[in-house]
Amino acid sequence: MYQLSTARNSLDLVSVNNQLSNQNARAIVDWASQQFGENLVMSTSFGIQSALMLHLVTQVVPKIPVIWIDTGYLPKETYIFAEQLSNRLNLNLKVYQSNLSPARMEALYGKIWQSKDLESLNLYDRIRKVEPMQRALKELSAKAWLAGLRQNQTQFRQQLEVVNKQGEHYKILPILTWNSRDIYQYLTDNDLPYHPYFDKGYVSVGDWHSSRPLSENDNNERDTRFHGLKQECGLHLPLNNDEAQSLDSSQL
Protein backbone atom coordinates (compact mmCIF):
# COMPACT_ATOMS: atom_id res chain seq x y z
CA MET A 1 0.00 0.00 0.00
CA TYR A 2 1.16 3.51 -0.73
CA GLN A 3 1.29 5.47 2.51
CA LEU A 4 1.00 9.21 2.91
CA SER A 5 4.33 10.95 3.27
CA THR A 6 4.49 12.59 6.69
CA ALA A 7 6.83 15.23 5.28
CA ARG A 8 4.80 16.24 2.24
CA ASN A 9 1.42 14.80 3.19
CA SER A 10 1.12 13.57 -0.38
CA LEU A 11 0.74 10.47 -2.51
CA ASP A 12 2.57 9.47 -5.66
CA LEU A 13 -0.54 9.75 -7.84
CA VAL A 14 1.03 8.05 -10.85
CA SER A 15 1.92 5.00 -8.78
CA VAL A 16 -1.37 4.99 -6.91
CA ASN A 17 -3.47 5.22 -10.07
CA ASN A 18 -1.40 2.49 -11.72
CA GLN A 19 -1.99 0.35 -8.65
CA LEU A 20 -5.74 0.94 -8.64
CA SER A 21 -6.37 0.89 -12.39
CA ASN A 22 -7.33 -2.80 -12.41
CA GLN A 23 -9.11 -2.81 -9.05
CA ASN A 24 -12.88 -2.98 -8.72
CA ALA A 25 -14.90 -0.24 -7.05
CA ARG A 26 -15.16 -1.97 -3.68
CA ALA A 27 -11.39 -2.50 -3.58
CA ILE A 28 -10.84 1.19 -4.33
CA VAL A 29 -13.12 2.16 -1.44
CA ASP A 30 -11.28 -0.27 0.83
CA TRP A 31 -7.95 1.25 -0.22
CA ALA A 32 -9.25 4.74 0.54
CA SER A 33 -10.50 3.66 3.95
CA GLN A 34 -7.17 2.11 4.90
CA GLN A 35 -5.26 5.08 3.52
CA PHE A 36 -7.22 7.92 5.11
CA GLY A 37 -9.14 6.38 8.03
CA GLU A 38 -11.26 8.91 9.91
CA ASN A 39 -10.25 11.65 7.47
CA LEU A 40 -12.25 10.04 4.67
CA VAL A 41 -15.69 11.40 3.75
CA MET A 42 -18.11 10.95 0.90
CA SER A 43 -20.64 13.24 -0.76
CA THR A 44 -24.08 12.56 -2.12
CA SER A 45 -26.75 14.54 -3.93
CA PHE A 46 -29.46 11.90 -3.42
CA GLY A 47 -29.78 12.07 -7.18
CA ILE A 48 -31.00 9.56 -9.75
CA GLN A 49 -28.38 6.85 -9.06
CA SER A 50 -27.11 7.91 -5.64
CA ALA A 51 -28.21 4.70 -3.94
CA LEU A 52 -25.35 2.92 -5.71
CA MET A 53 -22.48 4.87 -4.14
CA LEU A 54 -24.20 5.09 -0.78
CA HIS A 55 -24.61 1.34 -0.64
CA LEU A 56 -21.20 0.52 -2.13
CA VAL A 57 -19.26 2.75 0.26
CA THR A 58 -21.17 1.99 3.45
CA GLN A 59 -20.75 -1.74 2.89
CA VAL A 60 -17.03 -1.11 3.38
CA VAL A 61 -17.06 1.92 5.71
CA PRO A 62 -20.42 1.85 7.54
CA LYS A 63 -19.97 5.02 9.59
CA ILE A 64 -18.29 7.21 6.98
CA PRO A 65 -19.53 10.83 7.16
CA VAL A 66 -21.90 11.38 4.22
CA ILE A 67 -22.03 15.04 3.21
CA TRP A 68 -25.27 16.24 1.68
CA ILE A 69 -25.45 19.83 0.46
CA ASP A 70 -29.10 20.83 0.82
CA THR A 71 -29.65 23.89 -1.35
CA GLY A 72 -33.15 24.47 -0.01
CA TYR A 73 -34.50 24.15 -3.56
CA LEU A 74 -34.63 20.40 -3.99
CA PRO A 75 -37.84 18.67 -5.14
CA LYS A 76 -39.89 17.22 -2.30
CA GLU A 77 -39.29 13.78 -3.82
CA THR A 78 -35.56 14.22 -3.18
CA TYR A 79 -36.13 14.95 0.50
CA ILE A 80 -38.34 11.87 0.82
CA PHE A 81 -35.85 9.74 -1.13
CA ALA A 82 -33.04 10.97 1.14
CA GLU A 83 -34.99 10.09 4.26
CA GLN A 84 -35.79 6.61 3.00
CA LEU A 85 -32.21 5.82 1.95
CA SER A 86 -30.77 7.29 5.14
CA ASN A 87 -32.96 5.02 7.24
CA ARG A 88 -32.42 1.93 5.09
CA LEU A 89 -28.63 2.27 4.93
CA ASN A 90 -28.23 3.78 8.42
CA LEU A 91 -26.23 6.67 6.99
CA ASN A 92 -24.01 8.90 9.09
CA LEU A 93 -25.52 11.88 7.30
CA LYS A 94 -24.05 15.35 7.64
CA VAL A 95 -26.36 17.98 6.14
CA TYR A 96 -24.87 21.34 5.19
CA GLN A 97 -26.64 24.42 3.89
CA SER A 98 -25.73 27.94 2.85
CA ASN A 99 -25.49 30.53 5.59
CA LEU A 100 -27.94 32.54 3.49
CA SER A 101 -31.48 31.21 3.62
CA PRO A 102 -33.29 30.98 0.28
CA ALA A 103 -35.51 33.91 1.27
CA ARG A 104 -32.56 36.09 2.26
CA MET A 105 -30.65 35.23 -0.89
CA GLU A 106 -33.63 36.11 -3.07
CA ALA A 107 -34.07 39.42 -1.21
CA LEU A 108 -30.43 40.35 -1.80
CA TYR A 109 -29.83 38.94 -5.28
CA GLY A 110 -33.21 38.01 -6.74
CA LYS A 111 -34.09 34.65 -8.26
CA ILE A 112 -30.69 34.37 -9.88
CA TRP A 113 -31.22 30.78 -11.02
CA GLN A 114 -33.71 32.07 -13.59
CA SER A 115 -30.96 34.01 -15.37
CA LYS A 116 -29.43 32.77 -18.62
CA ASP A 117 -26.27 34.62 -17.59
CA LEU A 118 -23.44 32.32 -16.47
CA GLU A 119 -22.18 34.82 -13.91
CA SER A 120 -25.53 34.74 -12.10
CA LEU A 121 -25.76 30.96 -12.25
CA ASN A 122 -22.23 30.66 -10.90
CA LEU A 123 -23.07 33.03 -8.06
CA TYR A 124 -26.03 30.84 -7.16
CA ASP A 125 -23.81 27.76 -7.09
CA ARG A 126 -21.15 29.46 -4.98
CA ILE A 127 -23.72 30.53 -2.40
CA ARG A 128 -25.83 27.41 -2.20
CA LYS A 129 -23.36 24.61 -3.00
CA VAL A 130 -19.66 25.44 -3.07
CA GLU A 131 -19.33 27.39 0.19
CA PRO A 132 -21.26 24.80 2.24
CA MET A 133 -19.14 22.00 0.76
CA GLN A 134 -15.90 23.76 1.61
CA ARG A 135 -17.17 24.30 5.15
CA ALA A 136 -18.15 20.65 5.46
CA LEU A 137 -14.72 19.42 4.37
CA LYS A 138 -13.05 21.72 6.87
CA GLU A 139 -15.31 20.95 9.83
CA LEU A 140 -15.10 17.19 9.23
CA SER A 141 -11.27 17.33 8.96
CA ALA A 142 -11.43 15.67 5.56
CA LYS A 143 -8.27 14.73 3.73
CA ALA A 144 -10.02 12.64 1.07
CA TRP A 145 -13.44 12.73 -0.54
CA LEU A 146 -15.22 9.80 -2.22
CA ALA A 147 -17.58 10.85 -5.02
CA GLY A 148 -19.61 9.13 -7.72
CA LEU A 149 -18.32 11.03 -10.74
CA ARG A 150 -18.10 9.08 -14.02
CA GLN A 151 -16.11 9.74 -17.17
CA ASN A 152 -19.12 9.59 -19.46
CA GLN A 153 -20.95 12.43 -17.70
CA THR A 154 -19.03 15.51 -18.90
CA GLN A 155 -16.03 16.44 -21.02
CA PHE A 156 -14.15 17.58 -17.93
CA ARG A 157 -14.68 14.26 -16.15
CA GLN A 158 -13.20 12.32 -19.06
CA GLN A 159 -9.73 13.49 -18.03
CA LEU A 160 -10.01 12.44 -14.38
CA GLU A 161 -8.14 9.57 -12.71
CA VAL A 162 -9.40 7.30 -9.94
CA VAL A 163 -7.41 9.36 -7.42
CA ASN A 164 -6.99 13.10 -8.00
CA LYS A 165 -5.46 15.90 -5.95
CA GLN A 166 -6.55 19.49 -5.72
CA GLY A 167 -5.46 21.81 -2.97
CA GLU A 168 -5.41 19.96 0.34
CA HIS A 169 -7.87 17.21 -0.59
CA TYR A 170 -7.82 14.01 -2.59
CA LYS A 171 -10.85 13.16 -4.70
CA ILE A 172 -11.38 9.40 -5.09
CA LEU A 173 -13.75 8.12 -7.78
CA PRO A 174 -14.52 4.39 -7.41
CA ILE A 175 -17.05 4.17 -10.28
CA LEU A 176 -15.23 6.51 -12.67
CA THR A 177 -15.30 4.03 -15.58
CA TRP A 178 -18.79 2.64 -14.99
CA ASN A 179 -21.52 2.96 -17.62
CA SER A 180 -25.32 2.90 -17.39
CA ARG A 181 -25.43 -0.88 -17.72
CA ASP A 182 -23.01 -1.30 -14.80
CA ILE A 183 -25.14 0.98 -12.67
CA TYR A 184 -28.39 -0.78 -13.56
CA GLN A 185 -26.82 -4.16 -12.78
CA TYR A 186 -25.57 -3.04 -9.36
CA LEU A 187 -28.87 -1.43 -8.39
CA THR A 188 -30.79 -4.50 -9.53
CA ASP A 189 -28.48 -7.00 -7.83
CA ASN A 190 -28.76 -5.13 -4.54
CA ASP A 191 -32.45 -4.23 -4.80
CA LEU A 192 -31.69 -0.52 -4.66
CA PRO A 193 -33.99 2.23 -5.99
CA TYR A 194 -33.46 4.96 -8.51
CA HIS A 195 -34.65 8.44 -7.56
CA PRO A 196 -38.42 8.73 -8.27
CA TYR A 197 -37.73 11.22 -11.06
CA PHE A 198 -36.09 8.46 -13.09
CA ASP A 199 -39.59 7.29 -14.03
CA LYS A 200 -40.36 10.81 -15.25
CA GLY A 201 -37.55 10.72 -17.78
CA TYR A 202 -34.84 12.41 -15.71
CA VAL A 203 -31.28 11.09 -15.92
CA SER A 204 -29.89 13.78 -13.60
CA VAL A 205 -31.71 15.78 -10.95
CA GLY A 206 -30.67 18.66 -8.73
CA ASP A 207 -32.71 21.71 -7.81
CA TRP A 208 -36.31 21.81 -9.01
CA HIS A 209 -35.70 24.99 -11.00
CA SER A 210 -32.64 23.78 -12.95
CA SER A 211 -33.38 20.16 -13.84
CA ARG A 212 -35.52 18.72 -16.61
CA PRO A 213 -36.14 15.36 -18.31
CA LEU A 214 -33.81 14.13 -21.04
CA SER A 215 -34.84 15.05 -24.58
CA GLU A 216 -33.77 13.71 -27.98
CA ASN A 217 -31.78 16.89 -28.55
CA ASP A 218 -29.52 16.40 -25.52
CA ASN A 219 -25.98 15.15 -26.13
CA ASN A 220 -25.50 13.85 -22.59
CA GLU A 221 -27.26 13.72 -19.25
CA ARG A 222 -25.71 16.93 -17.91
CA ASP A 223 -27.35 18.94 -20.70
CA THR A 224 -30.55 18.61 -18.70
CA ARG A 225 -29.14 20.83 -15.93
CA PHE A 226 -28.59 24.60 -15.60
CA HIS A 227 -30.67 25.48 -18.70
CA GLY A 228 -28.12 23.55 -20.76
CA LEU A 229 -25.64 26.41 -20.27
CA LYS A 230 -23.06 24.51 -18.22
CA GLN A 231 -22.33 20.96 -17.12
CA GLU A 232 -20.80 21.51 -13.67
CA CYS A 233 -22.30 23.16 -10.59
CA GLY A 234 -18.97 24.11 -9.06
CA LEU A 235 -18.55 21.31 -6.55
CA HIS A 236 -16.19 19.49 -8.91
CA LEU A 237 -14.77 22.31 -11.02
CA PRO A 238 -13.43 25.84 -10.47
CA LEU A 239 -15.70 28.48 -11.92
CA ASN A 240 -12.78 30.43 -13.38
CA ASN A 241 -9.01 30.64 -13.03
CA ASP A 242 -9.17 33.46 -10.47
CA GLU A 243 -11.24 31.28 -8.17
CA ALA A 244 -9.13 28.15 -8.52
CA GLN A 245 -7.32 28.69 -5.24
CA SER A 246 -10.39 29.59 -3.19
CA LEU A 247 -12.39 26.70 -4.59
CA ASP A 248 -9.61 24.15 -4.46
CA SER A 249 -11.48 21.83 -2.09
CA SER A 250 -14.42 21.63 -4.48
CA GLN A 251 -12.65 21.11 -7.78
CA LEU A 252 -12.23 17.82 -9.64
Catalytic residues: 233
At residue 180, the 3 state secondary structure works out as helix
What are the backbone angles phi and psi of residue 195, rounded to the nearest 5°? Answer: -60, 145
Query: Which residues are paired to 180 by β-bridges?
Result: none
Would the CA dihedral through 177, 207, 64, 87 be positive or negative?
A: negative
Give CA separation, 54 vs 5, 114, 147, 234, in Å. 29, 31, 10, 21
Nearest partner of 137 among 235, 62, 53, 12, judged by Cα: 235
CB within 8 Å of 83: residues ≥ 6 apart: none
Residue 65's H or E segment, with its range, is: strand 65-69
8 A C-beta contact, residue 88 and residue 58: no
CB within 8 Å of 61: residues ≥ 6 apart: 29, 33, 40
Cβ-based neighbour number of residue 157 at 10 Å? 19
